[in-house]
Amino acid sequence: MDKNTRICIIGGGPAGLSAGMYLEQKGYENYTILERLDRVGGKCWSPTYNGRRYEMGAIMGVPSYYAVHDVEEFCGITHDGPKLNRNYKNGAGKVIEPFEPKKNIFKIPRLLKMKKQIQQFGELLETKYKGYDVNGHRGVAEGRYDGFAVTPGREPVSGENPNLKDLCLPFAEFCRKNGVELVQDVWIGPYTSFGYGYFDEIPAGYVLKYLDFQTTMNFVKINLWTWKNGTQYIWEQLNEHLKHQARLNSNIEKVERRDGKVYVTVNGQVEEYDKIIVTAPLHIPGTRTDGQRGMDEYFDVRDDEKELFSKIDYERYDVLAVETKPEDHPEISYYVFDNMIPAKLGHLMVYYRRWRDTKDQVITTYALRKHKNKEEIPYETCKKMVLDDLKIMGNPATNVVNEWSVYYFPHVFSEDYTAGWYDKVEAMQDKYDTFYAGEIMAFGDMDETAEYSRELVERFF
């Protein structure tokens, strides 16, 4: 492709900013990044309270976040934030140690069995499911893999593996099929509590692209990265180091694609491009109060785009930042496994204390209120449930400082995953001078989205 190609990137989150970085590194400098909000970072949002930043979106990374490390190197920054730790409570607010045999004598047989299954699982993933951890979902439904390896070198890999079709199954069914049901006890912590849905509904491909074995073990061992100025700081720094910073407050009213050009009407002005990369949502079911729209609402959407994108659903994941009295401030972050099941939809799953050296900071709470087979819990109802749960936990809130219910984790369910949804969308890349990237094409965490942008640039530019 001509290095002077005029490229429009929609979205100034990790996917869009990374696309700009990787394009620059390949010699493409004629790009524009349009961001709807008055800030960059997308779901990496780190507001300030009492002079310190806290997390409303992404919290942490791990050493296998290679794309995030690309950004760090590009910007000359590093992961310099507070060291994280955690503990566990049951639904009644009692501190528990679910993985400590000495504290769970009657559970020793189950814990030993779980340990054995985790070892078996690691071996299965490396052998039976070779290629499972390649970024993105291209080829999975056809029993093949094609992309970049999840290694420091991230070398291109491809191959046939019919067993990969099993990744289309819901993760709970995938685990049963392989006789490793108990690994869910470990994977659920960094998965469901982080808002990515329940194991009986979400295809295993999503779970394992995000929580490949090495990433999960990093979470287990608390081998985590944080950033003093928050995860948003990573993307603020990237934006500052790009040759063309994102244009904030960009209201895209219309996109028309004709005669080999792309015409974008933004803030009342028509701009002409040769190609467009969409990292913003492709489809949002229903209407959101925050005004966010899917691409299919403002593009001259074609029939094949409309049909495929209509299959996309998303999670209703709510975050509260709350104040407590100093004597009620939790001494550590807590996971509440009892509330990470569909029957406890809307309840507090985890609450997070970022700064351990002071009590003049907020804690943040997290809850899911949607399951594909259950009635969605209204936002205000969920909020009340979470505040009531904090009282049960012994850490009542005195005030809600901030709240966020964001468009979260776009995905398709097993039926459409099995039917080759991803291969159909991948086949449309550049069909209408349009490229599709962002969360839906890989996964909802910042590293997977950034890594997919890297792959997209390598494949097509």
- Same domain assignment for residues 288 and 424: yes
Inform me whether the pLDDT recorded for 330 exceeds 90.
Answer: yes
Question: pLDDT confidence of 346, banded at 50, 70, 90?
Answer: very high
Q: Is residue 385 domain-resident?
A: no
- Same domain assignment for residues 302 and 439: yes
Decide: helix, strand or coil at residue 196: coil
What is the DSSP pairing of strand 313-323 with strand 363-368? antiparallel
- Same domain assignment for residues 303 and 238: yes
Q: What is the CATH classification number for the domain harbouring 239?
A: 3.50.50.60
Q: Is residue 389 domain-resident?
A: no
Which of 220, 254, 283 lies at the terminal end of a domain, its last residue? 220
What is the tally of structural domains in the chain?
2
Q: Whole-prediction pTM value? A: 0.96
- Same domain assignment for residues 295 and 432: yes
- Same domain assignment for residues 245 and 267: yes
> Is the four-CA dihedral 247, 253, 257, 259 of positive or negative sign?
negative
Q: Is residue 265 domain-resident?
A: yes
- Same domain assignment for residues 299 and 417: yes
The Cα 120–Cα 72 span in angstroms is 35
Q: Could you report the per-residue pLDDT of 99-153, keeping only the tens digit for each? A: 888 777 888 999 999 999 999 999 999 999 999 999 999 999 999 999 998 888 9
**Residues contacting 289, CB < 8 A, separation 6+:** none
pLDDT of residue 288: 87
CB of 67 closer than 8 Å to CB of 447: yes
- Same domain assignment for residues 128 and 155: yes
Q: What is the CATH classification number for the domain harbouring 183?
A: 1.10.405.20
CB of 32 closer than 8 Å to CB of 9: yes
Q: Which two tokens stand for residue 33?
A: 């990044």
Q: Is residue 340 domain-resident?
A: no
Q: Could you report the per-residue pLDDT of 304-328, keeping only the tens digit for each? A: 999 999 999 999 999 999 999 999 9
Which of 191, 220, 249 lies at the terminal end of a domain, its last residue? 220
pLDDT of residue 105: 82
Average pLDDT over residues 270-291: 94
Which of 161, 191, 220 lies at the terminal end of a domain, its last residue? 220
Q: Identify how many contiguous H helices and E strands the chain contains and give both numbers.
A: 14, 18
Q: In terms of residue numbers, what domain contains 128? A: 100-220
Give me the residues paired with residue 363 across strands.
322
- Same domain assignment for residues 106 and 215: yes
